[in-house]
A and B are shown apart, each in its own frame.
Chain A
Amino acid sequence: MRERNTSARRSMMPSATLYDSLALGEPLLRPVPHPAVDTRGSIWFVGDWAVDVPPSPPRPIPEAARLIALVRDRTGWSARRLAALLGVSHSTVRRIAGGQQPKAAHSGNLPLRLRAVYDVVDRIYLLQHRDPSATAHILDEVIPGHRSAVSELRDGNPAAAYLAAIDALRPPRSPGLLTGDRPKSAGATAPLHE
């Protein structure tokens, strides 16, 4: 930190010119420029004034911005692609991703739609072994006679979207009686309802 003779200067410093006159001799014709704010030390200086700046707590990332980042991270979708799915402009997605709060007048229930999209994407991402490319692929997959998960998400049907993605992941159900491939194991000792 720079060495300063702050105590002597502060008491006589109505302006930079007067300060220079009293402390250093002949007045200068113009004020001596000081660094506006010196933040290099533990105590900040504004001009020659030590100021105590309270620590600013880190601000949490807005929920909507966090969800946009997560959805894009898990799918590799561009802001434009996500915006089309959400029914808003890509500039709106970028603004929100930058930390602005969604405006209801512009984006309606965007936070809810965003949460619904995330809920589906997150699960498919886990089912696809955290592979964004594979996640995006399954969400776009169209089974003949059905709609893709993305189409369902665009229409605001997260449950149908999840179902479409799951169906795309599994081989078609074979005809005949419905069977399961995960028989229960031994050790069922915890009562489910009591």
Chain B
Amino acid sequence: MASLYDEEWRQGTIFEAALPLDAVVLGKASGQPERRMSTHGRWVLATQDCDLDQTDKSDTEPSIELRPVFTKDPPQDWGIRSARLLLTEQEYVQSTSPRPVVSAAILTALKASGIPVRQIDPSRKRAYTTWLGKRYDRPAVPPELLPIARKIADTVKARRNRAAGAKVRDVLMQFGTVDGQIRYSLFAVLDQAADEPEVRVWLSDIALQIPPELGVADQIEAATAQGISLELVETAYSADITQLTWRPSTPFPDGAVM
């Protein structure tokens, strides 16, 4: 018994075939739920590799999740936190798109018919895996903190290319209020403990770029992932440098590749 994985179907495999892309909307005339039907021609598998490995290639139950692949107006960066994620230079997936679930037997039959099937670059596959996982865990802040949180995130992004910035895995933020003014803490997550002094100065430089009328930093720390408490990770906002443009020389974040 061969599985879809044995047949070289992977999370991130792109194929071209006309399949229904349906959604449920409220009918304008009827005021009742209605099926909105369309057809789409390019797809990427969203189901994890471990599930593909557990699924017989002739299984007729709908269990394989697909995502429609779009090519019109692709996003400009490779960010994995964005609503749209580039799979290749011109192809992307959209967070809010409908997603059908098909049977393994359909994929097997389509492949046997000779449809175009290809794998994406391994680095993009890892980004895609992370993007899928983050769809339900995206960073958000209270609206009143949005200006300063976004300014910090943008400044971190702008200063990421500096030598110290490349040594940072993530930047966490916490906010408080003193006398009606926002105070904030910045925490850098490092790979190497030896980089702490340099990275703290890097963070301090970022804090000096934040207009004081938005808020003033009164705590700047850095530590390796082993030195940071889970409590801090869970109670801080991520400035989220993983949304930055991928550079070929930098490692990609680990995704849930199984």
**Contact surface of A with B, Cβ cutoff 8 Å:** 119-120, 122-123, 126-127, 129, 157-160, 162-163, 166, 169-170, 173, 177-194
The count of residues in chain B whose C-beta lies closer than 8 Å to any C-beta of chain A is 51
Evaluate contact between A159 and B218: CB separation under 8 angstroms. Answer: no
Tell me, rounded to whole Å, the shortest Cβ–Cβ distance linking B148 to chain A.
Answer: 11
A127-B216, A191-B139, A192-B141 are known contacts. Are A182 and B83 too (CB-CB below 8 A)?
no
Q: Pick from A160, A185, A193: contact of B153, CB below 8 A.
A: A193
Q: Which residue of A lies closest to B230 (CB)?
A: A177
Evaluate contact between B218 and A178: CB separation under 8 angstroms. Answer: no
Q: Mark B216-248, 1 if CB is under 8 A from A, else 0.
A: 111111010001110110011110100100000
* 20 A/B residue pairs, CB under 8 Å, sorted by A: A158-B208, A162-B217, A170-B218, A170-B219, A177-B228, A177-B232, A179-B231, A179-B232, A180-B174, A180-B185, A182-B174, A182-B176, A182-B185, A184-B174, A184-B236, A188-B141, A188-B142, A191-B139, A192-B149, A194-B81
Tell me, rounded to whole Å, the shortest Cβ–Cβ distance linking B229 to chain A.
Answer: 4
Give the distance in Å from the alpha carbon of A159 to the alpha carbon of B200 in the complex. Answer: 9
Q: Pick from A126, A173, A194: contact of B212, CB below 8 A.
A: A126
Residues of A within 8 A of B231 (CB): 179-180
Tell me, rounded to whole Å, the shortest Cβ–Cβ distance linking B37 to chain A.
Answer: 28
Evaluate contact between A193 and B240: CB separation under 8 angstroms. Answer: yes
Evaluate contact between B208 and A183: CB separation under 8 angstroms. Answer: no
Evaluate contact between B228 and A178: CB separation under 8 angstroms. Answer: yes
Give the distance in Å from the alpha carbon of A192 to the alpha carbon of B228 in the complex. Answer: 23
Residues of A within 8 A of B236 (CB): 180, 183-184
Q: Mark B188-216, 1 if CB is under 8 A from A, else 0.
A: 00000000000011101101100010001
Tell me, rounded to whole Å, the shortest Cβ–Cβ distance linking B31 to chain A.
Answer: 29
Tell me, rounded to whole Å, the shortest Cβ–Cβ distance linking B171 to chain A.
Answer: 12
Tell me, rounded to whole Å, the shortest Cβ–Cβ distance linking A187 to chain B.
Answer: 5
Residues of A within 8 A of B257 (CB): none
Give the distance in Å from the alpha carbon of A192 to the alpha carbon of B83 in the complex. Answer: 12
A180-B235, A185-B142, A190-B146 are known contacts. Are A169 and B218 too (CB-CB below 8 A)?
yes
If over half of A's interface residues share one DSSP class (helix, strand or loop), that class is named, otherwise mixed; here it is loop
If over half of B's interface residues share one DSSP class (helix, strand or loop), that class is named, otherwise mixed; here it is mixed
Give the distance in Å from the alpha carbon of A159 to the alpha carbon of B198 in the complex. Answer: 11
- In the complex, whether B256 has a CB less than 8 A from a CB of chain A is no
A123-B212, A183-B235, A192-B146 are known contacts. Are A178 and B139 too (CB-CB below 8 A)?
no
**Max count, chain A CB within 10 A of own CB: residue among B139, B187, B202:** B139
Evaluate contact between A122 and B175: CB separation under 8 angstroms. Answer: no
- In the complex, whether B143 has a CB less than 8 A from a CB of chain A is yes
Closest 8 CB pairs of A and B: A183-B235, A159-B205, A182-B174, A177-B229, A163-B204, A159-B204, A182-B176, A190-B146
Give the distance in Å from the alpha carbon of A122 to the alpha carbon of B211 in the complex. Answer: 10
Give the distance in Å from the alpha carbon of A191 to the alpha carbon of B142 in the complex. Answer: 9
**Max count, chain B CB within 10 A of own CB: residue among A126, A170, A193:** A193
Give the distance in Å from the alpha carbon of A182 to the alpha carbon of B150 in the complex. Answer: 18
- In the complex, whether B68 has a CB less than 8 A from a CB of chain A is no
Tell me, rounded to whole Å, the shortest Cβ–Cβ distance linking B78 to chain A.
Answer: 13
Give the distance in Å from the alpha carbon of A146 to the alpha carbon of B204 in the complex. Answer: 16
Give the distance in Å from the alpha carbon of A123 to the alpha carbon of B182 in the complex. Answer: 12
Residues of B within 8 A of A177 (CB): 227-229, 232
Evaluate contact between B208 and A162: CB separation under 8 angstroms. Answer: yes
